[in-house]
Structure 1
Amino acid sequence: MNMSDRIRAPWWLKPANRVYRTLLRRGIRIGPEHSVVLTVLGRKSGKPRSTPVTPLHVDGQRYVVATFPAADWVANVRAKNTVTMADDGRTENIRMVELEPAQAAPVLRYFGEQVPSGVTFLKRSGLVDKGTPDEVEALAGRLPVFRIDPVT
């Protein structure tokens, strides 16, 4: 376990995510980012667990970056990589494939441009100073990056 695995989300994130998840399910968006609701079965409970995430698009492919490596949703996706993603009343079954650091690095370069709120979290957690593309790209291997693939 490295240092970034021990970084925990701030105390207020889970309650804020509950509110944001509810708003998203009602079609209400906050800010310029296009967030969706990701639902995966809990690895321990087996119950559906949902969290808002903001996919980014690189070279025609969708990705999700976990700004908190120890987040429960990350462990749940690793245990069961087939999940659902709800966006504007449409639900899609997807497979999330975790990238190796060499694959993740070029995706992370676009993270700040497409998900500025994610870079704010990285700054607050001390993982980056200014949040430049070089700083974020250097987190490859520390931040989980998942490619979103359709379930066939």
Structure 2
Amino acid sequence: MTQQFPPPSLKRLNKVIVALQRIGIVVGTMRLLTVYGRKSGKPRTTPVSPFTVDGERYVISAATTEWVKNARVRNEGVLARGRRSERVRLVDVPEHERGAILREFPLKVPHGVDMLIMSGAVEDGTQDAFEAAAPNCAVFRVERL
């Protein structure tokens, strides 16, 4: 049986997180990433949890979601935390470099581990499982514009 990603419950939770952040209530390490639609040109916003590896910031997705497709075409967006925001360049990390970055995710964003397990992108919360998930995950380096 193929699991729907993101699951409907996550879509609802994301809407709540977006609403809270827009009124200035910050939830954990989450930020709002807004990327303009590749076809519509309309802004699309999703919660992400940036993390730092070797001085570089990254965001990941467990699947090729719409925001990932948009980011791959647009290569930039706006990253916001509460009412503060910054324009950023989103650099798609090649698959052969993703493993080392993903390996750090369970250490840096432990609250995000369950979401990636639930998606089926990783088998468990170990660093080895995250590294092995490189072909299944999108990783973007976040650079300030």
Q: Find the counterpart in structure 1 of residue 113 from structure 2.
A: 119
Distance in 2 (CA, whole Å) between partners of 1:136 and 1:92 is 28
Q: Find the counterpart in structure 2 of residue 10 from structure 1.
A: 7
TM-score if structure 1 supplies the norm length? Answer: 0.86
User: Structure 1 stretch 74-83 or stretch 122-131: which is displaced more?
Assistant: 122-131
Distance in 1 (CA, whole Å) between partners of 2:144 and 2:26 is 24
User: Structure 1 stretch 18-27 or stretch 56-65: which is displaced more?
Assistant: 18-27
Pick aligned residue for 1:19 from 16, 20, 38: 16
**Is the Cα–Cα contact under 8 Å of residues 64 and 138 in structure 2 kept in the other structure?**
no
Aligned-residue Cα RMSD (Å) equals 1.6
Gaps of 5+ in 1: 1-5
Q: Find the counterpart in structure 1 of residue 51 from structure 2.
A: 56
Pick aligned residue for 1:46 from 41, 49, 67: 41
**Within the alignment, does 1:132 sit opposite 2:123 as a pair?**
no
Q: Find the counterpart in structure 2 of residue 94 from structure 1.
A: 88
Q: Find the counterpart in structure 2 of residue 80 from structure 1.
A: 74
Q: The residue matched to 1:141 in structure 2 has which SS?
A: helix
Structure whose residues are more often helix by fraction: 2
Shift of 1:72: 0.9
**Deviations along 1:7-30, whole A, 9 cap, x unmatched?**
621012222111101112223233
Distance in 2 (CA, whole Å) between partners of 1:26 and 1:66 is 25
Structure 1 runs (4+) deviating above 3 angstroms are none
Percentage of pairs with the same residue = 42
Q: The residue matched to 1:50 in structure 2 has which SS?
A: strand
